[in-house]
Amino acid sequence: MRLQGLPSPVRATGGGLTPVRDVSPVAILDKDAIQPAKPTKGELLRRAAKYQPRAGRAARAAQAQTKAPPRPRHKISDLSEQRVLKTGLRRLHARLVLPKASEILELPRREDGSCRLMRQSFFQRLLSKEIELQGSMPNDIASAQSDLRHLSLEQLLGVRARTLDFATESRTHDAHNSFLATLDRHLFERISLRHLRDGTPPRAPELMQRLGVRLAIVLGARAVLLGGSHGLEVGDEEEGGIEGEKEAEQEQVSQGDKPPVPTCWALPLEDEGWDGARLALFST
């Protein structure tokens, strides 16, 4: 657009024609400078859709309304989380303890060869099944509680697997309950440490313990899904241990009408304490 100045208009007065200086120039549009506005992308799409065949539009509308098939899901009902957790611990016992039952009798030692445990004889009899924790004296249990931090994962599982059904609120068993609470803290922390990928630094004990509980629950849930109600006892010596697990997996694969039980599980992690990691992948 170009602006061209016109001669100033004049005004008739008594003394003649006097030019008027306070009138602004008039803008004259050059017709060659006028260009139509370009349509936007959305307008072009609307114009194209307006002239498309109706059959094509109907097919696309039907496709948009078609939803993806729902993802197959598994559901465990009529079972408490505590019972599934016990099943997971039995599964770990079958995997880690039964194949090397004799090795758990080797108690941890210092560099000079002396035993690290203050109550060495108590744990030797406990791990060799000469005595039961339920029937042990409170004084013996209380004095042996501090030695739990030195035991390996297999040794902790060996003790805990025999006390999974022991629960009491009697004041006479306060020492037993305190012993088992300390054992559980070390046990679930060891479970997480065992399953961390090589090179992954351990986190705070509380985080490791919570993750260990979830790993055990996953193992228990998978055992229940594979074996139904029979999966609750898989892992005991009487049930064939790891062989029973393999047989259940083969039987489940042969059943094509049910969705397969996953072998890789994604577990959400707390935002704090894991250096920004949001998920833990656990291969069962």
State the residue range of the domain holding 205.
81-227+263-283
Residue 67 lies in a domain: no
Residues 247-284: pLDDT tens digits? 555 555 555 566 788 889 999 887 678 888 888 899 88
Whether 267 is in a domain gets the answer: yes
Q: Is residue 256 part of a domain?
A: no
Residue 156 domain-assigned? yes
Answer yes or no: is 212 within a domain.
yes
The tens digit of pLDDT for each residue in 145-178 reads 999 999 999 999 999 999 999 988 888 889 999 9
253 within a domain of the structure (yes/no): no
Does the residue 34 lie in any domain? Answer: no
242, 225 Cβ separation under 8 angstroms:
no
**In this predicted model, what pLDDT tens digit does every residue of 68-99 receive, in sequence order?**
667 777 788 888 999 999 999 999 999 999 99
pLDDT tens string 168-206: 888 888 999 999 999 999 999 999 999 988 767 778 899
Q: Is the pLDDT assigned to residue 28 strictly greater than 60? A: no
Number of domains in the chain: 1
35 part of a folded domain: no
